[in-house]
Amino acid sequence: MTGDVTRFAPSPTGYLHLGHAFAALFAAESAARSGGRFLVRIEDTDRARSRPEYEAAIFDELAWLGLKWDQPVRRQSEHFDDYAQALARLKARACVYPCFCTRKEIEAEIAASVAAPHGPDGPIYPGTCRARSADEREARLERGDACAWRLDVAKARELVDTPLRFQEMGSGPTGETGEITAKIEVFGDFVLARKDAPASYHLSVVVDDALQGVTLVTRGNDLFAATSVHRLLQALLGLPAPRYGHHRLILDAAGKRLAKRDDATTLRTLRAQGVTPAQIRERLGFTSR
Ligand code: GLU
């Protein structure tokens, strides 16, 4: 067996902090341990929040940490066609629908319902547009009404062999390893393409991991729930399923997850204060090189 292909996939919407450093080192070391390859992917589908200076800082700081990655780097904004093709394949399988709801309308509907089901990211979409007739959908699309595209999870379920499973190599939030059963309803009818971004995180990640031949997806426990719907998209699109290695999140002194807005833990700030890459590795529990 050849080694694992792993990736670190930051969004250039802020400066990297210690949590990103941990994720990058974890992915790079997982590849190195197996004699494989380490990739960096720029997840910049959110054009409004992505900035070239953040992307430049990502490369600069990863190199400063001592990491080396394969070239060329894949930048998602250059591959919207790939995601559009995947969406077209899902449309052809009749398991997606256009959603014309505004955020306000969704919030109002949720507020009005007695018991709105919740997922890991908050209330689940109530399915308003799933109920629209084919005629109404056509008419609104023809009229040029802005829409997002959502997966019809109930229809999708009928198209795949359930239960779907994925291989957990790390320790997800539940500590379970080995074969995990995907909870494909966890986010309800999640978004595949947004009004303002032609590909959602879920769709672009699944397409890219397959196109790039990623065999081991390492990422933080905060994305553990997402893996279930990624497994569903892989099954619907006929893509291979990588193995997954979820890892712990780096917390601040108060026990809270680090966020891009906390300047104190950005690599940029630490570096300016004279902290060395070796000290960062050590602080994050990696052996110094
Ligand atoms: N781009 C995602 C983030 O910044 C990570 C995606 C992944 O590792 O699947 O959190």
Instruction: List, for residues 104-154, the tens digit of each pLDDT value.
Output: 999 999 998 888 889 988 899 999 999 999 999 999 999 999 999 999 999
Nearest to 42 by CA among 76, 5, 6, 79: 76
Q: Answer whether 249 contacts ligand 1 (Cβ < 6 A).
A: no
As a whole-number percent, the residues of the chain with pLDDT over 70 amount to: 99
CA of 89 to the centre of ligand 1 (A): 24
Residues 73 and 98 in one domain: no
71 and 83 both lie in a single domain: no
Q: At what angle do helices 201-211 and 224-237 cross, to 10 degrees?
A: 60
For residue 215 and ligand 1, the question of a CB distance below 6 A is answered with no
Ligand 1 geometric centre to CA of 138 (Å):
34
Answer whether 205 contacts ligand 1 (Cβ < 6 A): yes
Residue 69 scores a pLDDT above 80: yes
* 269 HSE (CA, 13 A, CB side): 12
Q: Confirm or reject: Cβ of 216 under 6 Å from ligand 1.
A: no
11 touches ligand 1 (CB under 6 Å): yes
Statement to judge: residues 231 and 90 lie in one domain: yes
The DSSP call for residue 65 is T
Instruction: Please say if the pLDDT value at position 288 is more than 70.
Output: no
Q: Which of 25, 205, 229 has the most ligand 1 atoms within 8 A of CB, as the residue to mutate?
A: 205
Cβ–Cβ < 8 Å for 1, 264:
no
Instruction: Indicate if 189 and 63 belong to the same structural domain.
Output: no
The answer to whether 83 touches 198, Cβ cutoff 8 Å, is: yes
Mean of the per-residue pLDDT values of the chain:
94
* Same domain? 104 vs 173: yes
Q: Give nearest CA residue, ligand 1 atom 1.
A: 10
State the distance from the centre of ligand 1 to the C-alpha of 145, rounded, in angstroms: 30
Substitution site in 11, 38, 50, 207 for ligand 1 pocket (most atoms within 8 Å of beta carbon): 11
Decide: 159 in ligand 1 pocket, CB within 6 A: no
Q: Which residues in 80-103 are b (16+ Cβ under 10 Å) and which e?
A: eebbeebbeebeeeebbbbbbbee
Residues 147 and 86 in one domain: yes
Contacts of 181 (CB under 8 A, 6+ apart): 163, 164, 165
pLDDT for 1 equals: 58
Polymer length in residues for the chain: 289
The reported pLDDT for the residue numbered 40 is 98
Q: Which atom of ligand 1 is nearest to the CA of 7?
A: 8
pLDDT of 191-224, one tens digit each? 999 998 889 999 999 999 999 999 999 999 999 9
Q: Are residues 74 and 84 in the same domain?
A: no
* Cα atoms in the 13 Å half-sphere on the side-chain side of 174: 9
Which residue range is the domain that position 172 belongs to? Answer: 79-214+221-242
The verdict on 172 and 236 lying in the same domain is yes
Taking the CA atoms of 103, 87, 207 and 44 in sequence, report the sign of the dihedral they define.
negative
Of all protein residues, whose CA lies closest to atom 5 belonging to ligand 1?
9
| Helical spans, DSSP H, in 65-133 | 80-92, 103-112
Per-residue confidence (pLDDT) for residue 113, from 0 to 100: 85
3-class secondary structure, 41: strand
Is residue 251 over pLDDT 90? no
Could you read off the pLDDT of 5-23 as tens digits, one per residue?
999 999 999 999 999 999 9
Do 135 and 188 have their domain in common?
yes
* Pairwise CA distance, residues 207 & 210, whole Å: 5
Per-residue burial over 191-223, b = 16 or more CB atoms within 10 Å of its CB, e = otherwise: bbbbbebbbbbbbbbbbbbbebebbbbbbbbeb
Please confirm, yes or no, whether 155 is among the known catalytic residues.
no
Determine which residue's CA is closest to atom 10 belonging to ligand 1: 10
Answer yes or no: is the C-beta of 245 below 6 A from any ligand 1 atom: no
CB 254 within 8 A of CB 262: no
Q: How many CB atoms within 10 Å of residue 64? A: 15
Give yes or no: residues 179 and 208 share one domain. yes
Q: Which of 225, 272, 260, 259 is nearest to 244 (CA)?
A: 225
- The one-letter code for the residue type at 26 is F
**Structural element, H or E, at residue 163:** none
Asked if 73 and 83 sit in the same domain, the reply is: no
Peptide bond into 163 cis (omega under 30): yes
pLDDT for 269 equals 95
Number of structural domains found in the chain? 2
Going by pLDDT thresholds of 50, 70 and 90, the confidence category of residue 254 is confident
**Residue among 260, 289, 282, 274 at smallest CA distance from 22:** 282
